[in-house]
Amino acid sequence: PVPTDPVIRLTEVNKHYGNFHALRDVSLEVAKGEKIIICGPSGSGKSTLIRCINRIERHDSGEILVDGHRLTGDTKDVAAIRREVGMVFQSFNLFPHMTILENCTIAPRKSRGLGKAEAEERAMHYLTKVRIPDQAGKYPGQLSGGQQQRVAIARALCMQPRVMLFDEPTSALDPEMVKEVLDTMVELAEEGMTMLCVTHEMGFARQVADRVIFMDRGEKIEEAAPGAFFTNPQSPRAREFLQQVI
């Protein structure tokens, strides 16, 4: 089915790093409210794809539309995209010398123009949502990895993004903290957030994904409903990959 309201649309996107062809004619659409999981071996271009959508990297050819904005060289577009796209990385990337509350209020104050009180009220709302309101006055270094990643999610939500991009958000966490972050992500999914998520947490993928995309060597090899993908992957490379991660 063709999504009626694509929040993200890539058409035949290519990206090179020097001579290395990192993305090969990748096309995909994410409709409003959809949850798409991207998986694939290390080096297959998953992060590059996410980074092109958020315009951390610039693609060479093809078209990327985010919330109706076409990603070009124009810096105005980049600012618009950053406001609409929430991003959570493997490393939490919190500002170490700011409190949790300050980490969550800086972007809304700067780029949404919120006043201090309003930004703090919003931050406390999302910190409560990720179940760490009591940590607001602390510094990132005083929190566990799982708590820091939940702050990173709250910080992204404070911008009230149209879509959330996740790049292996649990890969750097100790095993006992993975669940608390995945639980937060499941809640977001259930509330209807549009999500594009690189992860090898296949239980999570089965639970929330509308579609799973399998990438290998810069190509989108497969795109399927999770049930079909996990029980009957079409390509030998996907079968091999699933044997390794499940």
Q: How far apart are CA 137 and CA 25, in angstroms?
A: 46
> What DSSP line would sit under the chain, residue for residue?
---SSEEEEEEEEEEEETTEEEEEEEEEEEETT-EEEEE--TTSSHHHHHHHHTTSS--SEEEEEETTEE--S-HHHHHHHHHHEEEE-SS----TTS-HHHHHHHHHHHHS---HHHHHHHHHHHHHHTT-GGGTTS-GGGS-HHHHHHHHHHHHHTT--SEEEEESTTTTS-HHHHHHHHHHHHHHHHTT-EEEEE---HHHHHHH-SEEEEEETTEEEEEE-HHHHHH--SSHHHHHHHHHH-
- Piece of the chain touching ligand ADP by CB under 6 A; list 16-24, 25-33, 122-130, 142-150: 16-24
* Interface region with ligand ADP, contact rule CB under 6 A, candidates 2-10, 14-22, 95-103, 104-112: 14-22
Stretch that binds ligand ADP, among 39-47, 170-178, 184-192, 199-207 (CB under 6 A): 39-47
What number of residues does the chain have? 246
> Which of Mg ion, ligand ADP, none interacts with 22 (beta carbon under 5 to 8 A by kind)?
ligand ADP
Q: At what angle do helices 116-129 and 145-157 cross, to 10 degrees?
A: 130
Q: Closest separation between CB of residue 53 and ligand ADP, Å? A: 12
Query: Which one of 29, 38, 47, 220 is in contact with Mg ion (CB under 5 A)?
Result: 47
Q: Does 48 bind ligand ADP (CB under 6 A)?
A: yes
Q: How far is the CB of 20 from ligand ADP (least distance, A)?
A: 6
d(CA 113, CA 54): 21
Which amino acid type is present at position 168? E
- 105 is a site residue for Mg ion (CB under 5 A): no
CB of 8 or CB of 123, closer to ligand ADP? 8
Closest CB to ligand ADP among residues 57, 187: 57
Of 46, 55, 82, 200, the one binding ligand ADP by CB under 6 A: 46
**Of the residues 2, 19, 20, 141, which one makes contact with ligand ADP according to CB under 6 A:** 20
Nearer to ligand ADP, 45 or 86 (CB): 45
Region near ligand ADP per CB under 6 A, out of 41-49, 101-109, 189-197, 234-242: 41-49
54 or 135, CB closer to Mg ion? 54
Least distance in angstroms from the C-beta of 171 to Mg ion:
8
Cβ proximity to Mg ion, 46 vs 69, nearer residue: 46
Interface positions with ligand ADP (CB under 6 A): 17, 20, 22, 40, 42-48
